[in-house]
Structure 1
């Protein structure tokens, strides 16, 4: 493994790259991004063309949704962290990048994800989320286990009937219920939302993210439908109201806390809805299928190692899944971090330069002017061969095991910050960072307490991996066999 500190010597130089002709260049690049090359190849080809991992490019959606599609892209592990430095970049209205979704989709409020840490409301909302997570920390493990134990029982039932079980659909329903129960003690499916919650949430997510996705439709349909104009918010007004009503009732205690922080109940509820549905639920829709796909593809030898580690730690804890037991599962933790490294739930990060900057990559130092938009495509940074070596693009389950492995954690950026750092009211790192890693580990634990091994088919869908179980082998020993 090469050091990330190599290179970057010499005098600062201008950022290479080209935006092409006005409008035409951005449209052409958008077509490359979505249809002709795809995301990874789009960025990799520009790095190769200009011989630099810091490069000027256009990023979608471009005309006519974005004010300006032109960015300075930072595409290696060394340059990427400038996006986390609040002394150097401003994050106001940049959650989705060069465009911003209508505030009609969030009750008329700019929610926390669109606020810069310098804005007073950012501190209040993020503190509300920290308080919520702290107040419910003892509920996470038992709530997760009850919900996902039921999911796996359904997997077994579907396998018995048809020989396969579609994980993603089950995960959407289970994750939505789990988050509501873990955060508020109220399962959404047991309220007026009924079984419609995940569908309403998915529609609302699409309305915000459609400029950045492809549904696999022909280009002549998708371009005008998804990438040229915003979908009208009034079409999902009823869905959003139903979600809001759930949070305003189920989240009463969190909203009470918010009022003590100086937030109005209404603004707090819209923020609670966004953080819980977009960040938490949207994240688990991507995390668990990706994690399951990586473990499935890794095969039975990894399964055997995970079984031994997980059941051994749980047995030592008297047959219980505890935080102390989870901390002993070094391979399990590494598997979750490796999956987050390869497939971060949020791939794009942005920031406006607060001042003239010098940004160092592995191979040079580049000049950026105040006000320019910086952009990072996280998979380029977290698959950087200068840091992760020849296996940078591969799933290596034990990559983060041991002292040498732990040194690599500083280059895991999925949470909009380094894995070795902590979220605070002063930065934009995900407030649920530790929660996400915890539930990822719990997911692996639940699998291998219950099964000795399993098989699955994996394909790609809108938001990531799509997984179908094809067989499971029930546990024959240890706590999972009971």
Structure 2
């Protein structure tokens, strides 16, 4: 573990991590009296340094070891480093890395950091990939369109909230039927492809009352989205090609938007028709229908579908590894709550009576957050504090957080590297939720029009819990094989033991 080089105090409360420099003071100071330390690390030679770091990050070390080795080298969880993609794609790959739970929260404070064009980090994909618009994820809250666009997403999420549970059950019942058939025929079932189909169908049915298979889009939605996402995120991904070929193709130059223009246009046409009531609401807010279409498409396909594509296999991975005892406890909890509180139905009241289900979802989000990299540019001179020291940050410097290190900080979490199914059960568990920050903010705080926390934060947690509920209503246990893919884990099911009642 990268932070194991620091002495562990699991129950030590985290201090406020940020303080502004006093306006009248000529020097930085730490209000908590931690020792001031110069930020260690450097960026190496121009061009050469960023490319060397990029190869280490992707190939010779891999992302976790890349950061772990530098924590050990600098004896600090705050240091200077280059992050991909680097030259020719990113104008400036230099960042200050924040790799612990004390320093990481500065990235959420939009009074101190700017979030403009930092959704994907040191570079922003071409607006040609999003209809010519800078969509909500790339806007800073200070920009005029941020609040109305986020309000529009809140409207989208709430307008058909009653459809979420029934449409999820309908869609994922069909998914598990297909997995059962594949297991019976082949002895294995690939969760990824079936999940992609189910996630897109569910989102379209739940929010737009449309079955995409009954439209000109047909069954093509998921593959069109994946191609479009890969063109946007290619500079940050590795897809398994030989290193020098992959680095040249993906990390040295941007892939041209023309590669997916026809695919994107098909998606846009679908949403122009399917989202008509939401577009009417957008016009009443002063947002043009065209700009609204591209924001709804991005929220549904990139944020929603993309998030579920990564999160759901991750949940199955961690559940599969948790073992039969955890499976038995989950099955008992789910079935008792549905039979008793739900009267045989899956209801919100029944779901809220499943603390272990909620805990395993939060633990999966802690172990493997769907969006692991976060960024913010300092608006002013400030002091950033880790657990052990305070560091001067100058206005304009780019701050970078690697979330899996912050959410596996042993100063906060006991057995930080382990998946502990009941970690968030009970009073102590509830207290730890403020350190679960997958949504670009603490789980204990709400998304608002004035912050950058995920508009769909509560929706994501709900559907993740629904996945666990459906799984253990239907099965007693599961066995899996796990691999990797460009976007998260690749999961194959090798057994699903049917529940007997």
SS of aligned partner of 2:412: helix
SS of aligned partner of 1:399: coil
SS of aligned partner of 2:484: strand
Choose from 327, 341, 351 the match for 2:366: 341
Residue 166 of structure 2 corresponds to: 142
Q: CA deviation at 1:453?
A: 1.3
* Native 8 Å contact 1:57 1:72 kept in 2: yes
Q: CA deviation at 1:183?
A: 1.2
Choose from 119, 123, 126 the match for 1:99: 123
Residue 372 of structure 1 corresponds to: 397
Choose from 241, 244, 269 the match for 2:265: 241
Q: Which runs of 5+ in 2 are unaligned?
A: 1-9, 18-31
Q: CA deviation at 1:474?
A: 1.2
Q: Which runs of 5+ in 1 are unaligned?
A: 478-482
Distance 1:428 1:82 in 2: 12
Q: CA deviation at 1:465?
A: 1.4
Deviation digits for residues 286-309 of structure 1 (CA, Å, limit 9, x no counterpart): 000000011011111111000110
SS of aligned partner of 2:219: helix
Distance 2:72 2:60 in 1: 17
User: Is 1:285 aligned to residue 285 of structure 2?
Assistant: no
Choose from 339, 354, 373 the match for 2:379: 354
Residue 200 of structure 1 corresponds to: 224
Residue 115 of structure 1 corresponds to: 139
Distance 1:4 1:147 in 2: 43
* Native 8 Å contact 2:128 2:257 kept in 1: yes
1:175-214 aligned within 5 A: 175-214=199-238
Choose from 307, 318, 325 the match for 2:331: 307
* Native 8 Å contact 2:35 2:388 kept in 1: no
* Native 8 Å contact 1:4 1:77 kept in 2: no
Residue 402 of structure 1 corresponds to: 426
* Native 8 Å contact 1:16 1:56 kept in 2: yes
**What is the TM-score normalised by the length of structure 1?**
0.97
Q: CA deviation at 1:23?
A: 0.9
| CA RMSD of superposed structures (Å) | 1.1
* Native 8 Å contact 2:366 2:407 kept in 1: yes
Distance 1:210 1:291 in 2: 24
* Native 8 Å contact 2:34 2:388 kept in 1: no
Choose from 69, 74, 95 the match for 2:98: 74
Q: CA deviation at 1:11?
A: 4.2
Choose from 171, 178, 192 the match for 1:168: 192
**What is the TM-score normalised by the length of structure 2?**
0.94
SS of aligned partner of 1:374: strand
Residue 472 of structure 1 corresponds to: 496
Q: CA deviation at 1:380?
A: 0.8
Task: Select between 175-184 and 456-465 the one with higher mean Cα deviation.
Answer: 456-465
Task: Select between 181-190 and 75-84 the one with higher mean Cα deviation.
Answer: 181-190
Residue 34 of structure 2 corresponds to: 10
Residue 254 of structure 1 corresponds to: 278
* Native 8 Å contact 1:9 1:363 kept in 2: no
SS of aligned partner of 1:352: strand
Distance 1:97 1:257 in 2: 31
Distance 1:470 1:236 in 2: 35
SS of aligned partner of 2:481: strand
SS of aligned partner of 2:441: coil
Distance 1:159 1:205 in 2: 30
* Native 8 Å contact 1:4 1:362 kept in 2: no
Residue 381 of structure 1 corresponds to: 406
SS of aligned partner of 1:101: coil
Residue 62 of structure 2 corresponds to: 38
Distance 1:4 1:346 in 2: 26
Distance 2:214 2:61 in 1: 45
Residue 480 of structure 1 corresponds to: none
Question: More helix by proportion, 1 or 2?
Answer: 1
Deviation digits for residues 83-140 of structure 1 (CA, Å, limit 9, x no counterpart): 0001100001111110110000001100000000011101111000001111111100
SS of aligned partner of 1:467: strand
